[in-house]
Amino acid sequence: MDKNQAKERIEELRKKTEYYAQKYYDEDNPEISDFEYDMLIVELRNLEKEYPEFISKDSLTQKVGGTVKEGFEKVTHEVPLQSLQDVFSIEEVEEFDTRMKQKAEENGIKEVSYVVETKIDGLSAALEYKGGKLIKGATRGNGLVGEDVTENLKTVKTIPKEIPDKIDITVRGEVFISKKDFEEMNQERQENEESLFANARNAAAGSLRQLDSKITQSRPLDIYIFNVQKIEGKEFSSHYEELEYLEKLGFNVNPVRIPCKNIEEVKKAIQKISDMRENLTFGIDGAVIKIDDLKFREILGSTVKVPRWAVAYKYPPEKKETILKDIICQVGRTGVITPMAILEPVKVAGSTISKTTLHNEDFIKEKDLKIGDTVVIQKAGDVIPEIVEVVKNKRTGAEIDFEMPQKCPVCGAETVREEGEAAVRCTGIECPAKLYRNLVHFVSREAMNIDGLGENIIGQLLDNKLIENIADIYTLKFEDIASLKKNGQKFAQNLIDSIEKSKQNDLYRLITALGIRHVGGKASKLLAKKYKTIDNLAKAGYIELQEMDDIGEIMANSIVEFFEQEQTKDLIKKLKDAGVNTETLEEESEDERFAGKTFVLTGTLESFSRKEAEDIIERFGGKTSSSVSKKTDFVLAGEEAGSKLTKAQNLGVTIISEEQFKEMIK
């Protein structure tokens, strides 16, 4: 490679690593594996070493990745939270030891001892205590400036709010999510058709960097402390001594810390951690080798990015070959159909893998997977098994192509993949796989508004086989409901009354409750107003629907497909038989004073709820929108109005107060 080629490759690698670092550190959404990213950094570092004239301070070999997320206060670290120099072979560890011995000899130090620790796969954070009380917590950020996440860190149960010694101390640790908790989180997200976390590290980072600390509190975060950044009034001679002191103070200290007298013991410690890796409750991505002598550390110092007294040995990802025996499809609660690989069982990174998700149709095509293929499996982030590639030279010709089902494997309804989406969905409203989610939506406040029929009660009704479809709500008996709670007679009567009351709801509520894709509350009102009965709506054609204001092609297609389903026809008949109203009740207002006008609501109103104000506007022929644009006619601004008010002012949109709105609706 000549100088010009080297320069081009260095620039290309910098762009790539910056992009992948942003995805990893700032967006908590990695696009490549840690190993692939590490290899790009290694290549960049080697080229910069060979051609030092092209080294730039902006290169990720010279700085820590990560920035401060908008919405958090900035925190300048008094002691920088540096990264570590990665090494990928035992030879490189031995070279590190040789450098340390040379430096020790130059400074009259006779022995070089180490501490080897697990490199926890999480998000680095600093905790600052004054007089023994926690006063601040911050993320690493770019190493010099991080994010103030004090309130979020206070929700982590293993972080002490106060320590027994009334001292000033700043410690550094790694916030993480255990393997078990991570698997449970992703299992729940898969059931809810939410995107899966790529790995435990990004799940932890995303959880800690939430602007709402209640979300952080709901996530199973933990922390291991591994360093004293700064301490007043105490001195230590060794790192190991520091860690033992931190444990006495009540900190959750990294449990795997092995003191080593020489390089041979270091190598044994690296192997020991490798052997125990599969049984650890938390994920790791390496072993950290640190000089134990703190005075020697001071002599060695640091570069801008990394300390000279430590390296991180990265374990290579374990890969195994196995056979893709079959691909089956699972139907989630929202109807998304997910293909699953059934594998010849194989042991990878300590656990036996017999199946793994294939995500969606596009993933299968991208990997060119066929039933019967020999495939390579690895564990992403030491937790999630994934298919990396197909071993195509082992194909025999007997392999079978896979196609996503055109009928739901659970209920037999048509499946659909809409333009711009990766997911294939079941369209059946009575599909047992979707029943729980459909019931929760059907009874919700915005839909049929059945008070008392919450998620927990719906779960009990299903578990006890008291309901098997949506219409069964209207056949529930008093004694069945009362049996769900101790002394449940009053609860049962209230719920029966609420169910009975819901039969008299207006048609728009029933349309909303049916959960037609892309059809929300506003569209339901438009449809009820135009078609008057559910039967008229069921007969509506695609062309006439998409010609309506605010009903586009996608929504029109979704409505037509929904009412063509036999399951839909069956449910509507059952609801009619149960006495549920299927016609418009509200008389049309002759007052169209807001016809053609669009309102945006912002801030808190005193006299109305947001929904009440929207209903009034719509009753007078107006429309409401969630965003301000040049087409907005009025912005109704309540207390603590935010960015929408600012945008309206900038665009010259008419802004009205609550009092002015009251005058307009007299």
Domains annotated on the chain, with CATH: 3-54 (1.10.287.610), 74-313 (3.30.470.30), 319-394 (2.40.50.140), 427-586 (1.10.150.20), 598-664 (3.40.50.10190)
Alpha helices, DSSP H only, in 150-251?
A: 150-153, 179-191, 200-208, 213-218, 239-248
- Coil, helix or strand at residue 189: helix
Distance CA 159, CA 11 (A): 42
Helix axis angle for 553-564 and 566-577, nearest 10°, is: 70
CB atoms within 10 A of CB 519: 19
Cβ burial, residue 543 (10 Å; 0-12/13-18/19+): exposed
Sheet of 85-87, strands arranged across? 85-87, 310-313, 284-291, 114-120, 257-260
pLDDT of residue 40: 84
Show which residues are catalytic.
119
What does the angle CA 438 – CA 442 – CA 445 come to, to the nearest 5 degrees? 135
Distance CA 229, CA 491 (A): 57
Low-confidence ranges of the chain (pLDDT < 70): 24-31, 33-34, 63-71, 193, 349-351, 380-384, 586-589
Q: Are 277 and 382 in contact (CB under 8 A)?
A: yes
CB atoms within 10 A of CB 577: 11
Distance CA 34, CA 383 (A): 13
Name which of 487, 524, 486 is nearest 507 in CA terms.
524
Query: In degrees to the nearest 10, what's the CA dihedral of 613, 616, 617, 621?
Result: 170
Q: pLDDT digits over 195-251, tens only? A: 777 778 888 888 888 888 888 888 999 999 999 999 998 999 999 999 999 999 999
Query: In degrees to the nearest 10, what's the CA dihedral of 516, 520, 522, 526?
Result: -10
Alpha helices, DSSP H only, in 451-546?
A: 455-463, 478-482, 489-502, 507-513, 521-531, 534-539, 542-546
3-state secondary structure 571-590: HHHHHHHCCCCCECCCCCCC
Q: What token pair was written down for 303?
A: 């570069």
What does the angle CA 661 – CA 664 – CA 666 come to, to the nearest 5 degrees? 110
* Ramachandran angles phi, psi of 90, nearest 5°: -65, -30
- Return all residues near 545 (Cβ < 8 A) that are at least 6 apart: 551, 555, 556, 559, 560
Name which of 306, 284, 310 is nearest 118 in CA terms.
284
Token look-up 């044994």 returns 268
Average pLDDT, the chain: 89
Rounded to a whole number of angstroms, the CA Rg of the chain reads 31
* DSSP H/E element including 291: strand 284-291
Q: What token pair was written down for 430?
A: 């009575």
Q: Are 260 and 114 in contact (CB under 8 A)?
A: yes
Distance CA 321, CA 344 (A): 9
CB atoms within 10 A of CB 56: 12
- Coil, helix or strand at residue 169: strand
- Which pTM does this prediction carry? 0.55
Q: What token pair was written down for 475?
A: 């056949």
Distance CA 241, CA 518 (A): 61
CB atoms within 10 A of CB 391: 11
CB atoms within 10 A of CB 185: 19
CB atoms within 10 A of CB 267: 18
pLDDT of residue 587: 62
Q: Are 391 and 376 in contact (CB under 8 A)?
A: yes
Distance CA 527, CA 537 (A): 7
Distance CA 325, CA 372 (A): 5
Distance CA 666, CA 661 (A): 9
Strands 169-176 and 85-87: unpaired
The dihedral through the CA atoms of 18, 22, 23, 28 has a sign that is: positive
3-state secondary structure 267-309: HHHHHHHHHHHHHCCCCEEEEEEEECEHHHHHHHCECCCCECC
- Residue 426 DSSP symbol: E
Q: What Cα–Cα distance (Å) separates residue 324 from each residue in 184, 320, 342, 372?
A: 25, 12, 6, 5
Q: What token pair was written down for 666?
A: 């007299």
Distance CA 449, CA 451 (A): 6
Distance CA 90, CA 267 (A): 7
